[in-house]
Amino acid sequence: MLGELSASLVHELNQPLAAILSNAQAAQRFISRDQPDLAEVRSILDDIVANDRRAGQVIQRLRALFRKDRSQQREVDVKQIVLEVLQLIRNDLLNRGIGVEAELDDDLPVATGDSVQLQQVLLNLTMNACEAMEGSGVREPIRARARRKDTQTIEVSISDSGPGVSEEQLGSIFLPFMTTKPKGMGLGLAVSRSIIEAHGGRLWVLSTPGQGATFGFDLPIAAAPAAP
Amino acid sequence: MVAEHPRIAVVDDEADVLRAMQRLLRSSGYAVDVYATGEAFLHAVSGDCPDCPDCLLLDLHMPGISGFEVQARLRARNCKVPVVVITGHDTAAAEGRAMAGGAVAFLRKPVDGELLLATIERAIGAG
């Protein structure tokens, strides 16, 4: 992953750095003229600031990706986490005209994990689903599911009826800086994957192009306390 | 024959890079046309060679057709515009392919302005 990451990182940082260098060298030339074009130089400086911030954002997101601080691991109610995330984005979904249907098992066992991190993952998957739906013009609701998959695993998933993920994209969609969004950074799914894997789980996607996509994760059920 | 203010075309899908390159080239006395896609450039110079710029600065990886494909289509038209490839994807394979496709130079982003201007001057002089 580091090799893929460094190649992507080089590209993501190269763009703002290239713009900053060309802008700065152009400004040097404009300002050396007998009658410097200060309006042009001012506009160049605005772009330099914006591009520098863009480079900074790449670094910040990388820091989040490789965050080393300890997460808060405790027993978590996955159903509650799903409900809290849906509540959090309820207004946003309403504004976008997108509905949500939740299918959550009543008797879900508890998992062990960091509830804030798991919320981040669910939020990311749900917002991705919204964006996929928005572009498609389809008005089917998003489906949020949480169920006991087997004796050791809880499965949580978010399904949309957007354009789906192509076979080509499926192979790389969880890699850092891979994005299908015009303004996306391509870090949401990569960060989500690293969070889920740190929980001993697995992030996955199922999709048929043209018929939507389901992104989900499996989480291990918390071990039962040892008998006294 | 090269005009008094040689015309440079820049093809790059990154708006920020495009604007910065345009400024750098203008600050050096070039007339500059910018294009966000290879298709837009090929459409603009779809006529005979008098429509062509004196030099083309070409990114490789863009939505739509790639820089390699732009090179191939220019070759198919027997267009002799000197092509300077400027890319953030600096693999040896990409360089080999671009140079085999007729590029006169292969520069890596972020490219130093002095090097870029010297390369353009050389490309136009050799054209």
For the stretch A16-41, pLDDT in tens is 999 999 999 999 999 999 998 899 99
- Could you tell me what percent of chain A has a pLDDT over 70? 79
Select the highest-mean-pLDDT range: A118-122, A195-199, B97-101: B97-101
Task: Read off the pLDDT of residues A77-103 as tens digits, 9 standing for 90 and up.
Answer: 999 999 988 887 776 777 677 889 999
The stretch A163-171 carries a mean pLDDT of 76
Among B14, B23, B28, whose Cβ lies nearest the Cβ of A15?
Answer: B14
* 8 Å CB contact between B74 and B101: no
Say which of B26, B28, B109 has its CB closest to residue A18. Answer: B109
**pLDDT at residue A85, as a whole number:** 85
Q: What is residue A180's predicted lDDT score, i.e. its pLDDT?
A: 57
In this predicted model, which residue has the larger pLDDT, A19 or B64?
Answer: A19
Q: Which of B41, B1, B42, B2 is nearest to B18 (CA)?
A: B41
> Taking 90 as the threshold, does the pLDDT of residue A67 lie above it?
no
Q: Would you say residue B65 has pLDDT above 70? A: yes
User: A4: burial class by Cβ within 10 Å (0-12, 13-18, 19+)?
Assistant: middle
Residue A50 has pLDDT above 60, yes or no: yes
Inter-chain residue contact B113 with A17, CB threshold 8 Å: no
Q: Domain boundaries in chain A?
A: 2-65, 74-220
Q: How confident is the model at residue B105 (pLDDT cuts 50, 70, 90)?
A: very high
- Model pLDDT, residue A225: 63
Q: Which of B27, B88, B90 sits opposite A15 (nearest CB)?
A: B88
CB B116 within 8 A of CB B24: yes
**Domain A74-220, CATH class in plain words:** alpha beta
Per-residue pLDDT band at A219 (split at 50, 70, 90): very high
Residues 13-42 of B with CB under 8 A from A: 14, 16-17, 19-21, 23-24, 26-28
B2 pLDDT higher than 90: no
Looking at the DSSP bridge assignments, the partners of residue A144 are A102, A158
This complex has an ipTM of 0.87
Is the pLDDT confidence value at A51 over 90? yes
CA distances B29 to A78, A125, A154, A188, B54, Å, are 63, 50, 65, 44, 13
* Contact (CB<8Å) A14/B19: no
Cβ within 8 Å, pair B20-A47: yes
Instruction: Specify the DSSP element, H or E, that contains B55.
Output: strand B55-58
Q: Regarding predicted confidence, which is higher, A59 or B1?
A: A59
Q: Is 0.90 topped by the overall pTM?
A: no
